[in-house]
Structure 1
Amino acid sequence: MESGSVTTPFGRRPMTLGMLASQVNSQKIEAGASTDKWKIYRALCEAKPLLDISDRALTVLNALLSFYPKSELAAGENLVVFPSNAQLSLRCHGMAEQTIRRHMAALVAAGLVIRKDSPNGKRYARKTRNGEINDAYGFSLAPLLARAAEIERLAAKVAADRLYVQTLKERLTLTRRDISKLVHAAISEELPGDWQAFNGRFHDILNQLPRAAAPHAIASTLHLLETLRDEILKRLELQIKTQTLSGNDSQNERHIQITESESNLDSEASVETNVPELTAVNSPLANSVNVSGTELTRYATGTNAASTIFPLSLVLQACPEVRNYGPAGTVGSWQDLIAAGTVVSSMLQISPSAYKSAYRVMGPQIASAVLACILERAGTINSAGGYLRDLTRRAQRGEFAIGSMLLALARAREHDAPH
């Protein structure tokens, strides 16, 4: 431990009770106490918001620590360093001496170092004949050792507060994203409800949050947003239950209608009788697809109608993957293909509204064939539901024909097949 005498500042600098308190506390270091000087410095850097010290002041403290020859500050050692202002300036990366003095005063005021001024105000050390320092005048680092436990506790509090704020901000970001996407999904799916009002409430809550918000303001905003998200989720869950019940009813109704006209769907030949002969031998659709081992000789040309019915064998040849989703793992009739389409739409996460709209506009056979094509190309389609909606809108305008889609898939499989 250093000498127990109290030191007063040289020259015009006044003595304060804070300086006296720092000196008294630094004399209460327990015997055998020690701390790594760079460990305590890192803790100071962490705790600086609570100690009210600046980065520049910490730079000066770093330079002071570099003049202490040992790695640990220990009780019973002389903890005074005595560099000149010129030497401090070099180790502070050229900081002006006037600036160094200002930040040194801040360190003294914060109780992190103590001035131990000589009679003439110079910094120096007196050594014994053996070369050991007997007494030194400069800046004492004893407060760092005396306050080591306090500084580490403050650093831990700052780190915990920072983690708490970071967690709040992460939850806030996730909740904002959830609300935005859920409302957008409800609007795009045209679900009943005043979703614009939810969107307005969402933005009103966000607008009340300042750019540099305190933790309590972030927590309050997060609570409001989580409450809003829970309300939106309840509305959407209710819509899902309603649509599920409605979808089951409409699906049962479709099965009844299909059963009544089963004789027209179970036979591929009966569908093909409605397909006119090719009008041109060199049509781009002719001589390109084998149906049941023979060339396709009858196909509709010269039309963009989405409702043209094609041979079931052509659909299965172009889209063989759909067979796995039919009843008993196979598709042997149009009725099987329609049943497979119901499974495929659910698997591809196509919304019930998009599914029903396609069946209403295109008819069950064509819509099921379109779903089979989408399944075949699922790896290259980002949003199956959005793609189906786009095809449905084009079909309504008479701008979509499934023939080109089927023939393209069939040709691709024929090209990829081993010769």
Structure 2
Amino acid sequence: MQTVQNGTGDVRRLADAQWAAARLVDAYGGLPEGISKAMLLDRFERAAPRLGFGDGIVRLIRALVRVTQEQDWTGKTHPIAWPSNDALGEELQRSRTVIQGLIRSAVRAGLVHMKDSGNGKRWGYRGERGQIIEAFGFDLSPLAVRWDEFADLAAARGLEQERRRHLKRKLGEVRREIRTVCADALQHELLGFDWNDAIARASGRLPRTPSLGELEGLLDVFSGLLTAVDAAWVKARKSSDMEPRGFESRAHKEPTTHPKSERTTYPAHREEVADRSARPGQGAGAADLDGAETRISEEVIPLSLVLEAIPEIHEHLDEVAAAEWEDLVDAVARVAPLMGVNVSALREARQTLGRNRAAIAVATVLARWKDGEITSSAGGYLRAMCERERIGALHLLPSLYGLKERHAPRRKSPPRRTER
């Protein structure tokens, strides 16, 4: 086979990329300090899709890097592997012809440099300490020289994958909410919108491997559908509530011998929330309504306080330290059905308290539900909090400080000494 001499070893005349690989070999000085061959291989495998490398090349490079030793990458010697094509074929479960094609592709990609012996064979031997004395075969120095490139591409791909997971999660939540709202509308026989068509659209099959742009487009489409469904639900619900109630043909249920306890009713929860939220000197009459609303609007609640006071919500957040209001809103939307809070109660809370304050309210209900203070209807408790908000008597900040005391109780002051 025809070869040429360029001062660094024999180079097969395959393509211009081989000369580029030879120049990378000349620039080799070992891996950066603190970087191992396992880290190099990890970054390469994560960057491979962005570089357009197929699975065959990735598996070939993995097999070559694994037969090297850690000391080969320090810069004292070049990391050279000398497995035969038959050995590589057995390792990768590929034919000899396929292995030869993968080697040529790796050389063209500038990943390896072929250092040939005089007879074109691959061989090598190590010293007593395992260091390479002389070797001919695959010089993997270009991989080490391209470490920064692989690391940057791997980081970019990691960000892209995180963005993709976020979009898929949001897309799933939006589609589930569409189906939930439409199912609630069908259950209450609301008119004015094609609820079944919206359910069918939100239940359709998505592309198997959508691109990032396709996911963003799908999220925009379904977010628009959710907005239309929400608006239609609110309009139909108001229209239904305004219609006069006539004679009902449905049979009335006779009371059972074991009626539900009083705590399961909404008025009982309203009284319980009123007792918790009422503060001395604050009336709930119409005369004090304007002042109460002003105080509520000025109530500033930091997210850090919510997360500190209600650790029960942590398991539903992806990363507590980096959580934002949007993450808390998404978390309580997933938690609410677990407590039996239906979509209408959650929607009423968002309309009455606002998005962030409603999330705090649901998180507060979660804490009391987990502690066993709410033993019957968490949805009724949440509706009672909405009732307190309407009359200007709901104050979430004192409740959060009270919940915080559960985990960080105040220290009792030592008894005072009395002089005799």
- Shorter-normalised TM range: 0.5 to 0.7
Return the match for 1:217 from 214, 219, 231: 214
The reply to whether residue 80 of structure 1 matches residue 92 of structure 2 is: no
Equivalent residue in structure 2 for 1:231, among 228, 231, 243: 228
Q: CA deviation at 1:145?
A: 0.7
Q: How many residues align?
A: 272
Change in 2 beyond 3 A, CA 1:317/1:187: closer
What pairs up with 1:5-404 in 2 under 5 angstroms? 5-10=7-12, 14-30=13-29, 33-34=32-33, 35-70=35-70, 73-90=73-90, 92=91, 94-125=93-124, 133-196=132-195, 199-200=196-197, 210-242=207-239, 315=255, 318-319=258-259, 321-322=261-262
Residues 99, 184 of structure 1: alpha-carbon distance in 2 compared, 3 angstrom cutoff: same
Once the two structures are superposed, what CA deviation does each residue of 1:35-93 show, in whole Å capped at 9, x if it has no partner?
31122112222222122222232222222123213366222323222223343344x15
SS of residue matched to 1:136: strand
Instruction: Note closer, same or farther for the CA distance 1:127–1:9 as it changes in structure 2 (3 Å cut).
Output: same
Q: CA deviation at 1:180?
A: 2.0
Per-residue Cα deviation, 1:286-336 (whole angstroms, up to 9, x for no partner): xxxxxxxxxxxxxxxxxxx9679x8xxxx585426259859999xxxxxxx
Compared CA separation, residues 229 and 82, structure 1 to 2 (3 A): same
After superposition, what is the alpha-carbon deviation per residue over 1:380-418, rounded to whole angstroms, capped at 9, x for unaligned?
Answer: xxxxxxxxxxxxxxxxxxxxxxxxxxxxxxxxxxxxxxx
- Aligned match of 1:297: none
Once structures 1 and 2 are overlaid, which stretch shifts more, 62-71 or 39-48?
A: 62-71
Is the CA contact 1:29–1:75 (under 8 Å) kept in the aligned structure 2?
yes
Distance 2:267 2:127 in 1: 101
- The question of whether the paired residues in 2 share the 8 Å contact of 1:186 and 1:195 is answered with no
Given that 1:179 and 1:229 are in contact with CA atoms closer than 8 Å, whether structure 2 keeps it comes out as yes
Is the 1:36–1:72 Cα contact (8 Å) retained in structure 2? Answer: no
CA deviations 1:322-361 (Å, max 9, x no partner) are 59859999xxxxxxxxxxxxxxxxx99799xxxxxxxxxx
Structure possessing the higher radius of gyration over alpha carbons: 1
Query: Contact 1:37 / 1:71 at 8 angstroms: preserved in 2?
Result: no
User: Where does residue 399 of structure 1 map in the other structure?
Assistant: none
Check whether the contact 1:33–1:75 (CA below 8 A) recurs between aligned residues.
no
Separation in 2 of the partners of 1:319 and 1:63? Answer: 72
1:168–1:218 contact (8 Å) kept in structure 2: yes
Deviation at 1:167, TM superposition (A): 1.7
Could you say which residue in structure 1 is the equivalent of 2:292? none
Alpha-carbon RMSD: 4.5
Q: Are the counterparts in 1 of residues 77 and 132 from structure 2 also a CA contact under 8 Å?
A: no
Structure 1 unaligned segments of length 5 or more: list them: 255-304, 330-346, 352-378, 380-419
Partners of 2:46 and 2:157 within 8 A in 1:
yes
- TM-score (normalised: structure 1): 0.53
Deviations 1:144-177 (A, max 9, x none): 1101111121112222212222221221122112
In the alignment, is the contact (CA less than 8 A) between 1:209 and 1:218 conserved in 2?
A: no
In the alignment, the residues of structure 2 paired with residue 68 and residue 328 of structure 1 have an alpha-carbon distance, to the nearest angstrom, of 73
Q: Give the letter for the 2:41 counterpart.
A: Y
Q: Distance in 1 between matches of 2:100 and 2:174?
A: 49
Do the aligned partners of residues 320 and 214 (structure 1) sit closer, same or farther apart at CA in structure 2, a change above 3 Å counting? Answer: closer
Q: Normalising by the residue count of structure 2, what TM-score does the alignment of the two structures yield?
A: 0.53
- Per the alignment, do residues 239 and 6 of structure 1 end up closer, same or farther by CA in structure 2, a change over 3 Å counting? same
> How far apart, in 2, do the equivalents of 1:350 and 1:233 lie?
11
- Cα separation, partners in 2 of 1:96 and 1:242, compared to 1, 3 Å: same
CA 350–153 in structure 1, closer or farther in 2 if over 3 Å, else same: closer
Note if contact 2:81-2:137 (Cα within 8 Å) is conserved in structure 1: yes
Q: Kindly provide the CA deviation profile for residues 94-126 of structure 1, in whole angstroms up to 9, marking residues without a partner as x.
A: 543332222222222221111111222111237
What's the offset of the Cα at 1:7?
A: 3.8
Gap change, CA 1:57 and 1:71, over 3 Å in 2: farther
Contact 1:316 1:323 in 2 (8 A): no
Q: What's the CA shift for 1:226? A: 0.5
Cα pair 2:81 2:138 within 8 Å, conserved: yes
1:64 and 1:350 map into 2 onto residues whose CA distance is 57
Residue deviations 1:267-292 (CA, integer Å, cap 9, x gap) = xxxxxxxxxxxxxxxxxxxxxxxxxx
